[in-house]
């Protein structure tokens, strides 16, 4: 652990509690660098390991098993922990602007905040759908959905929008958990139905044909109705409408489509891609400022675009954000 008596020669600031920053904190706690001070800025004290999210939803893991206590980890690393939210950057002055505290200066900065759902592009989605991203907030939304299904009399129809890895994983995990919940309540699990909608010609478009065929078989076997080429253009309290004019009735709607970067990044001066993610080189340094790094969902590697080895931002198994 860093000795409190050592002079501070360099400030490294970590914005967000994603997996990369968890790894940095653990390594720094085990191998501190003299004169280097770490500061973590994150709005949550517990950060989820998103690779375990489908298992958590299915009921295989408890909350504590899938969440990391970020404040305790920061303490182990000898790092300052500011429970706050970054809302801007001053690249010239090398400061992070926060929502509730004075700006935080840095010598080097790393951003690992995950992605943000882009639901405003579809009428009614923000009001009537349950977004998976940001993952840190999904647990509360999932618990509410779980209670609604438990207390819903009669049949329950659930629609999942997004046919990537995240949508497929989450559909199967929710179905497994909710059927078990209904059995435990002495109710008929067959009263639960699932619809999976994707605007692509097939599910899992970034995977090979063998994987797609295998999961198409599993979904069919488990009674999940898959709607291919079904771009959702409007959402209401009880139905979805697609660009092709199809309507799907649903009591619950879960949104697992591709997300984008946080809106505040647009005002930072950092170069962003078309979805608002921070453009980085192979070193994870931003192409704008070598003192600023980005990792996880929020990073867009200019030499390895997503879908060509750059990761699956649509998947709960992709890197989580803070």
pLDDT tens across the length of the chain (322 residues): 455 667 888 999 999 999 999 999 999 999 999 999 999 999 999 998 888 999 999 999 999 999 999 999 999 999 999 999 999 999 999 999 999 999 999 999 999 999 988 888 899 999 999 999 878 788 899 999 999 999 998 899 999 999 999 999 999 999 999 999 999 999 999 999 999 999 999 999 999 999 999 999 999 999 999 999 999 999 999 999 999 999 999 999 999 987 899 999 999 999 999 999 999 999 999 999 999 999 999 999 999 876 433 333 444 443 333 3
Q: Which residues contact residue 189 at a Cβ distance below 8 angstroms, ignoring those fewer than 6 apart?
A: 178, 179, 180, 182, 183
- In b/e form, how buried is each residue of 137-157, taking b as 16+ CB within 10 angstroms? ebbeebeebbeebeebeeebb
Question: Which pLDDT value is given to residue 316?
Answer: 44
Q: Which region, left, alpha or beta, applies to residue 223 given φ > 0 means left and ψ of -120 to 50 means alpha? A: left
Question: Which pLDDT value is given to residue 306?
Answer: 63
| Pair of tokens at residue 107 | 């010598």
Contact 191, 175 (CB under 8 A): no
State how far the Cα of 200 lies from the Cα of 112, in Å rounded to an integer.
29
- Centre a 10 Å sphere on the Cβ of residue 177 and count the other Cβ atoms it contains: 19
Does an H or E element contain 253, and which? strand 252-255
Q: Say if residue 127 is preceded by a cis peptide, omega within 30 of 0.
A: no
Domains of the chain: 10-116+259-301 (3.50.50.60), 119-255 (3.50.50.60)
Q: Considering all CA atoms of the chain, what is the largest pairwise distance in Å, rounded to the nearest integer? A: 68
- Centre a 10 Å sphere on the Cβ of residue 69 and count the other Cβ atoms it contains: 13
């Amino acid at each position: 652990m860093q000795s409190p008596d050592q002079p501070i020669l360099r400030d490294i600031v970590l914005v967000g509690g994603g997996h990369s920053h968890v790894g940095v904190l653990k390594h720094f706690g085990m191998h501190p660098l003299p004169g280097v001070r770490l500061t973590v800025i994150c709005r949550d004290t517990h950060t989820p390991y998103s690779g375990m999210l489908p298992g958590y939803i299915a009921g295989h893991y408890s909350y504590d098993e899938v969440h990391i206590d970020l404040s305790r980890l920061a303490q182990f690393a000898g790092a300052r922990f500011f429970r706050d939210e970054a809302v801007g950057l001053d690249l010239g002055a090398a400061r992070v602007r926060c929502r509730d505290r004075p700006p935080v200066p840095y010598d080097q900065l790393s951003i690992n905040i995950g992605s943000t759902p882009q639901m405003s592009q579809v009428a009614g989605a923000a009001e009537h759908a349950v977004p998976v991203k940001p993952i840190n907030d999904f647990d509360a939304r999932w618990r509410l959905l779980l209670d609604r299904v438990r207390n819903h009399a009669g049949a329950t129809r659930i629609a999942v929008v997004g046919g990537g890895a995240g949508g497929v994983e989450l559909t199967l995990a929710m179905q497994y958990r909710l059927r078990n919940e209904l059995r435990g309540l002495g109710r008929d699990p067959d009263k639960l139905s699932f619809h999976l909608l994707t605007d692509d010609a097939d599910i899992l478009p970034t995977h090979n044909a063998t994987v797609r065929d295998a999961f198409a078989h599993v979904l069919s076997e488990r009674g999940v109705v898959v709607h291919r080429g079904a771009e959702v253009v409007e959402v209401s309290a009880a139905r979805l409408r697609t660009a092709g004019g199809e309507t799907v009735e649903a009591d619950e709607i879960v949104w697992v489509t591709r997300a984008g970067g946080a809106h505040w990044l647009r005002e930072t001066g950092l170069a962003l891609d078309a979805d608002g993610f921070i453009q980085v080189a192979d070193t994870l340094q931003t192409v704008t400022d070598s003192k600023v790094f980005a990792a996880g969902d929020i990073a867009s590697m200019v030499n390895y675009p997503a879908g060509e080895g750059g990761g699956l931002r649509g998947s709960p198994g992709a890197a989580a954000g803070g």
